[in-house]
Structures are given as structure tokens and as C-alpha cells.
A and B are shown apart, each in its own frame.
Chain A
Amino acid sequence: MGKVRKENGKDSAAFRRAVWRKLKRDRYLYLMLLPAALVTIVFAYIPMGGLIMAFQDFDIFKGFLHSPWVGLKNFSNIFTQAKFLKSVWNTLMCGVLCLLICFPAPIILALLINELKDGIFKKFSQTISYLPHFLSMISVVGLVYMLFGRDGFVNDVYLALGGAERVTFLARQELFIWFVIGVVFWKETGWGTVIHLANLSSISPELYEAASIDGATRLQKMRFITLPHMKPTVIILLIFQMGTIFNSNFELIYGLQNPYVDFEVISTIVYQTGIKGGNYSMSTALGFAQGLVALVLVLGSNGLAKKMTGNGIL
């Protein structure tokens, strides 16, 4: 690039020739990039244009050009219609509870794994704890259905402990959110330790030895060596997590939903009102608002992380 600019000063015809030469030289590079670029433009950028539906009363037969404009009506509906507002609230609840419970869990588990002696038992514990991550969300939902179903093991235990009759736990409104959190916790905690363990293994043993010589206790070593070492990674992961606080887990919640429970989050409402109900504009507006909030959260927490640690992810 630098060379091209220098030539630019001399003569614009020579500059054009140089650019052309470069483009021609790299023609196969552009060719190889073409599939990725096409897929990105068609499947990522064109739908962004479709967001104008959120400001229209979109009719699929009239198309984008002839559908009437309604301004911000669809957005104000989010705050005036109870079912939308409720879904926003439920989404936020899931996100915050996940952040509070499912985010710290792998950190603690990694510290505990780190305390195990190297050997078969440690390897085996790790291997088993990673397993649920690889199962599809719907098969995990299936496990939950069967474990907590009327004839399931949890009911067997409940009866054995003196429960009066078999209970359909999944049909309990007040338990639903805990099933959601519980599945995420069960499925992802083990896998979440991988990155922390990789991080822990990079701490030089000499640091611990030096601390021991100075008479530091185990807790002091953890407080002054281990935790500070983990901090940057934890903060970066926290940023990712903050960005996803509004991305309700559709697969999980849709999977667990059943006729006895009324628990909608933004993504399930978008699906129900949009694809099932045909109210494209309203669900696009809801999805758009969710996307914007997620973007603001990612950018905001990234800025925060930059201030705190001097490095962000963007």
C-alpha cells in the first residue's frame, strides 16, 4: 500500500496502473474470498436491510416499498403490551440469574479441579464434566423431561422421601426458570472450566515456591497469585457474558415450554408472533430492540474492561 501511495504523488496514471497491477496479481485471492463474501452479504447484510420492517406495518404481499410506515409504533408496543413487556422482563431475569450463578461456577470448579492430584481420577473427572456440553440442547431437554417426569427418577425419590403423590415438576410455573438455569448450569459448567484450567496451568510454579518460602498460606497464595492471574481472562469472559444477557436461550426455553406453563422470553415471542403468527413487523421490532441492547452492552462492557485492565476484545 505504501508504495502505491508514493507513486500517487508523481502521476495518477501510474498510480492507476500500479493499483491495476496489484488487483490483477491478487485476482485469485479475491476469487477465493468470493464465497465467504457472498454468504456474508446475502445472509448477514441483506437481513439487516429487512429491519425497516420494524418501522412499517409490513405486508408480505405489498413488500417493503408499499407497506405503510408506522414510525415507532411497534417499539412503543413493546412497552405498552403486557406480553411483550413480560417477555423482556423474563429474558432479563434469565440473563441476570445466569450471570450470577452460571458464570462464577466454572471458575470455582476449575480451582477445585486444580487442587486434585494429577492422575487418572483428575482426567476422568474432567472428561465426564465436559460431556454434557457436546449433547444437543434438545436431548438434554429430553433428559430433563424423563428425569423429572411423572414416572421419572426424581418422582421415585420424592415418593420414597414421603411425598404424597407423583408431581409433574415441569408443569410448575414457579419452578420453570430454575429448570432453565439448572440446565445451563449442568450442561456448561464443566466445559467452562477448560479455559480457566489452561490459564491456571500457565502460572509459573516458581511463584508458588517463592511464596511458600516467604511463609504464605494456601489461601494467601490463592489470593495473591492464582486469582490475580485469572483476572484478565475472567474479565474478558464477563464481557462476552454481559453481551449475551439479553440473548435468551431459545432452544432451551422453547424445548422446556409446555401447556401448563406460561413463560415467554424475547426470542420465543419473536418466533411465536413472527413465524407462527405472521406479525412480522412487531417481532422484527422486538428482535431489533434486543439486538441494539446487546450491542450497547457489548460495547459498554468492553469500554469498561479497557478502563479496568487496559485491554478489551474489540
Chain B
Amino acid sequence: MTKHDSVSRRIFYVCNVIFFLLLIAVVLFPYLNILAKALNDGKDTAMGGITIFPRRPTFENFTTVLGDKSFGRAFLTSACIVVAGTLLNLLVQFMAAYVFMNKQFIGHKVLLYLFMVPMYFGGGLIPQYILYSKLGLLNNYLVYVLPGCFSVYNMIIIRSYLNSIPASLAESARVDGANDLRIAFRIILPLAKPVLATVALWVAVALWNDWLTTLYFVTKKEMFTLQYVLMQVLKEAEKIQAIIKEAAMRGEVVNIKSNITTESVKSAQLIVTTVPIIIMYPFLQKYFIQGITLGAVKD
């Protein structure tokens, strides 16, 4: 804003700032509200009226959540999936990107089409389900990492970055007698670290946030992921409410107090589930934006 701005311009600017203050409030409030509930005494939360400050502060809800064995197991499962899945993903993606950086080999076009078609059309959930059951992937940890370990989009992003590496580096290594495996892993890989870090974060966030794989393909309790456990807890409360409603229609009274304490515990569970994302957020934001701009300039 400069001195020359007109009055209407100044009014617009002030309104705009107010608008963004509101926007910040609308985005942050739900999360801070849940955080306050998670830090508040369960019985007290049930009386309503919690804003962004706990009324009767306690860590009890968090100790309940973190002390729960199945929750701890789910946390561990999710963490392992993220680590193993991200590494596998990067390996498969990087190798494919390296290959497609080279446009000289026989079958280059056909293979690229082979990878592109599934972006636009697929068999859908049920054929997938039947295939997985035949392959023994149902209730198998591999289902979390194997089917999703290649993404054409990520491969193209990595490739477009590799294309910016001077070709002379690979050429001189080839003259020295290095084969493609050696060139890819010894020379190109170290130079591709920035783009690999970006893709790694995308994959890690997607894996951490995934709960559909569990819903579709896993029924064993000990294999549940953290997000799936959260979903179950949220849905559980809905089911209890339905039971209460049905009981009320029959004229019975159910003790509502017994499930209301879970509201604070649920909040604590939601906070714990999202905390890795919140902690990583400054990195995530930076790398995700880099990825978007990489994607925008591709080709």
C-alpha cells in the first residue's frame, strides 16, 4: 500500500486482511478445539462449551490412548509401513525414471504406453479384491506396500528432474566402462537426492494417511493401521448413538454417560494420529510445493 492508493483501494486492503484473519480462524479452530478437548477432563467435556482452552486440564486422555496396547501396535504398524513402503517406492520409481531418461532402447514407446494406460482406466475394486485373494495378499502385510509401489506420475516427476542432469556425466562413466546399474546408483542417484526427498515425502504422507487398504483387504486386528483404528473409534461412537436412539424409541433409557467420556479420548486419539504430520508440516509444505512446480513445468 502506498500513499497514492485510493480510498477504495485501502478499504479493499483492510477487508482482505480481515478476510484472511477469518480464514486462519476457520482453518485452525477445529484442530485447536479438538486439542482443548483432548487436554480436558472427559466428564467435563461432555457438558459442552469447550472452545480452544481446556477447562479442567488433564493428560489422562493421552495416557489412556498411549497406554492402549492395540493403539500402540497400530502406531508401530503404520510407522513400519511408511518406512518400508517409502523405500520400496523410491527404489522402483527411481529405476524406472532412470530407464526412461534414456530414449534409445528398443520398446521405449510401447513400455511408456504400458505405464500410462492405467492412469486413465482400471479394473476397479472388485477385480482387485479377487486378484488379491488369489495371490494371498488379503491379511498380508505386503498388501500395504506392494500394489502401490509404482506411480507413473511420480516416475515422470523424477524423470524430468533427471533430465536436467548433464548427460556428459553418465557418458564419461560409460566410457570408463561402467554399466547402467553402476551409473544409475553411483552417479545419478546422489545427484537426484532433492527430487527423491520430495517424492519420498509425498509417498510417506499418503501411506501414513491411508486407511482404505485396511478397510478393503485386512480383517485381522493386529494388522490394523493407525488411521483405520481412528476410523473405527469414530464410527463406534456413531453406532452407540444409534443403539441409544433405538432404545429411546422402545422407551428405554440407556446410560449415556458411559460413552461420553470417550469424546475426550477420541480427541486425544485424533491428535496422536495427526501429530507426525503436524510436526513434519514445515518440511512437508516446502517439498510439496516444490513438487507441484516440478509437475507444472514437466515436458
Contacts and interface: CB of A to CB of B under 8 A. Distances in A.
Interface residues of A, number: 95
Interface stretch (B12-20, B53-61, B62-70, B165-173): B12-20
A151 interface: yes
Interface string B272-299: 0110010001001100110011001000
A51 interface: yes
B15 to A, nearest CB: 10
Contact of B150 (A31, A36, A53, A153): A36
Q: For chain B, which range describes its interface: under 10, 10 to 19, 20 to 34, or 35 or more residues?
A: 35 or more
Contact of A39 (B128, B147, B273): B147
Interface string B93-117: 1011011001011100001001101
Interface in B119-134: 120-131, 133
A175 to B, nearest CB: 15
A241 to B, nearest CB: 15
A51 B123 contact: yes
A51 B128 CA distance: 10
A134 B127 contact: no
Contacts of A23: 106
Interface in A114-141: 115-117, 121, 124-125, 127-132, 134-139, 141
B110 to A, nearest CB: 11
Contacts of B41: none
Chain A binding surface SS class: helix
Contact of B27 (A131, A218, A254): A131
A291 interface: yes
Contacts of A288: 124
A274 B293 contact: no
A270 B129 CA distance: 12
A125 to B, nearest CB: 4
B149 A39 contact: yes
Given A53-B126, A295-B121, A142 B9 contact: no
A106 to B, nearest CB: 12
A156 interface: yes
Interface stretch (B79-87, B190-198, B260-268): B260-268
B242 A145 contact: no
A280 interface: yes
A263 B284 CA distance: 34
A33 B98 CA distance: 9
B227 A136 contact: yes
Nearest to A198: B293
A1 B108 CA distance: 10
A143 B30 contact: yes
B51 A153 contact: yes
B26 interface: yes
Interface in A134-162: 134-139, 141-147, 149-153, 155-156, 159
B8 to A, nearest CB: 9
Contact of A134 (B20, B37, B277): B277
Contacts of A166: 48
B31 interface: yes
A70 interface: no
Interface stretch (A41-49, A79-87, A90-98, A220-228): A41-49
Contacts of A300: none
B127 A168 contact: no
A151 B45 contact: yes
Contacts of A195: 292, 296
Contacts of B241: 168, 258-259
Nearest to B242: A259
B205 interface: yes
B125 A51 contact: no
B11 interface: no
Contact of A47 (B111, B131, B263, B281): B131
A186 B126 contact: no
Contacts of A145: 234, 237-238
B275 to A, nearest CB: 10
B282 to A, nearest CB: 8
Contacts of B16: 112, 115-116
A128 B263 contact: no
Contacts of B17: 116, 121
Nearest to B228: A138
Contact of B34 (A141, A143, A250): A143
| The 8 A-B residue pairs with the shortest CB-CB distance in the complex, in nearest-first order | A50-B127, A47-B123, A287-B124, A136-B209, A44-B118, A28-B180, A259-B242, A32-B95
Interface of B: 1, 9, 12-13, 16-17, 19-20, 23-24, 26-31, 33-34, 37, 45-51, 91-93, 95-96, 98-99, 102, 104-106, 111, 114-115, 117-118, 120-131, 133, 135, 146-147, 149-150, 155, 179-181, 184, 205, 208-212, 215-216, 227, 230-231, 234, 237-239, 241-242, 245, 260, 263, 266-267, 270, 273-274, 277, 281, 284-285, 288-289, 292-293, 296
22 contacts: A1-B106, A33-B99, A35-B95, A35-B96, A40-B115, A43-B128, A48-B123, A53-B126, A116-B20, A128-B24, A139-B230, A139-B273, A143-B34, A147-B30, A155-B48, A194-B288, A195-B296, A199-B296, A254-B215, A259-B239, A267-B125, A274-B126
